[in-house]
Amino acid sequence: MSSRRLSADARRFLAEHVGSVLQLELVLLLARDPARAWTAADAASELRAPAEWIGGRLAELATLGVAATQTDAYTFVADGPWAPAIDEVATQFARRRTSIIEAIFG
C-alpha cells in the first residue's frame, strides 16, 4: 500500500502533525488503550525516549485534541477529530510499516 491509498485525513495527519516515527509511536501508544493514562515518564520508559521530549509531544497532542490531560497524565481521545485517521494509520503501520514511514518523511 502506498501512502496515496491512505485517506486524505490520514495523509494530512501524518504530514501536518507527525515529524518522526517516534512521534507516531507515541500517538499509537496512547491509541492502543484509550482508558490508560500515560505520564511522560511512563511513556518515555515504554518508548525508550527522553521524558522531556515525550512531555512536549504529549502537550502538543492535547492541543490537537488527540490526547486529554488528567493531572500529570494523558489519555487518547477515542472520539476526537483525528481518531479515525489515527486508527487508519495504526492499522496500516502494523501491516505496511515502510509505507507509513515514507508518508511521514515524504
Range of the domain at 83: 3-105
pLDDT, position 5: 83
* pLDDT over 50 at 2, yes or no: no
pTM: 0.93
Q: How high is the mean pLDDT of the chain?
A: 94
* pLDDT over 70 at 1, yes or no: no
Q: How confident is the model over 48-84, as pLDDT tens digits?
A: 999 999 999 999 999 999 999 988 999 999 999 999 9
- Contacts of 21-24 with CB under 8 Å at 24 or more apart are 21/101, 21/104, 22/47, 22/49, 23/57, 24/89, 24/93, 24/100, 24/104
pLDDT, position 4: 60
CATH number of domain containing 72: 1.10.10.10
Number of domains the chain contains: 1
